[in-house]
Amino acid sequence: MKTNIRIAIVQEGPVYLNLPLSLQKLEILIKEAAAGGAQLIVFGETWLCGYPAWLDYCPDIALWGHEPTKEVFARMHQNGVVVPGPATRQLGELAKSLGVIIGIGLNEVVERGPGNGSIFNAFLLFDSDGKLVTHHRKLMPTFTEKMLYALGDARGLKSAKTSIGRIGGLICWEHFMPLSRQALHNHGEFIHLALWPTVHEMHQVASRQYAFEGRCFVVAVGQLMRVRDIPPELDIPDSLANEPDEWLLNGGSCVVAPDGFYDLQPQFDKEGIIFHDITDLQHPVRERLTLDVSGHYQRPDIFKFEVKR
């Protein structure tokens, strides 16, 4: 019986908008994490090939017909991930050969069929046998993300049984959607992966709330991005132009225990692989004594809940 679970949080940026080079970097990072004894390796929101933080910093992106923005969108599409496709095969092979579980956020592109041409903000989970066990598309792009991403569906709104227990995941502001949380609570989670662009204060609040409400461990993963990572097609505001090394996204990854308190304190401005061991594997069970929103604290005689998958 396992006495601990070692997690590796990859708080290191991709090669922005470059899928081949990002996949090369990803393989190096996964092998390094596995060599460090990790059983679960997690990357942040849209790690392949980078969260579009420039949406919040470049003033001209919302101009109708703005050619530089359209050029960046085309590069995003060109460097997106087809599911299933060569990139997912590589991830599955790495998971199987190294015997690790991999959770990763990515920009998913659809080549044909419904949604042809769309980009989805997606989350994939590969078990240690290499099988893709969860494919979730973010239900609702947030604010400026609506310019880039299509609406997701509920097919991946579930947890998956893995070699270390049931694991589920949500992306960014899905953690503020009560019914999304309840759907995963009802499906049961030992570990929940919370993928964020950066885990700032309110995202810390949401991650801690999720752990307390779901009585599970929450691995909150933030990205790193500097000013120099903004696509060169876009104009950078004067306030940032002379600060190429300034953080736009500064991590904040953490692990929250099932009682809502930190198991690993937030890690800001720290680049690299962050290892953390979960040693109290019975903690989720003990916390359900007082609160279990999918068990004895639920009232199905009063409330009816349905997920349209």
Set 12, 45, 108, 145: catalytic member:
45
Active-site residue flag, 45: yes
Residue 308 counted as domain residue: no
More reliable by pLDDT, 168 or 65:
168
Range of the domain at 125: 5-287
Active-site residue flag, 254: no
- Can you tell me the distance from the alpha carbon of 25 to that of 23, in angstroms, rounded to the nearest whole number? 5
Q: How many CB atoms lie within 10 A of CB 59?
A: 10
The CA-based angle 204-296-218, given to 5 degrees, is 20
Residue 309 counted as domain residue: no
Residue 292 counted as domain residue: no
Set 58, 108, 138, 145: catalytic member:
138
**Predicted confidence (pLDDT) per residue in 118-151, tens digit:** 899 999 999 999 999 999 999 999 999 999 999 9
Model pLDDT, residue 64: 84
Query: What average pLDDT does this structure show over 184-198?
Result: 97
- Looking up residue 250, the CATH number of its domain turns out to be 3.60.110.10
Backbone CA torsion sign across 15, 16, 20, 22: positive
More reliable by pLDDT, 3 or 281:
281
Lowest mean pLDDT, pick from 28-37, 63-72, 75-84, 198-207:
63-72
How many domains is the chain partitioned into structurally? 1
Residue 294 counted as domain residue: no
- Can you tell me the distance from the alpha carbon of 193 to that of 42, in angstroms, rounded to the nearest whole number? 8
Residue 111 counted as domain residue: yes
Set 49, 58, 172, 216: catalytic member:
172
Residue 45 counted as domain residue: yes
Q: Is pLDDT at 1 greater than 50 in this prediction?
A: no
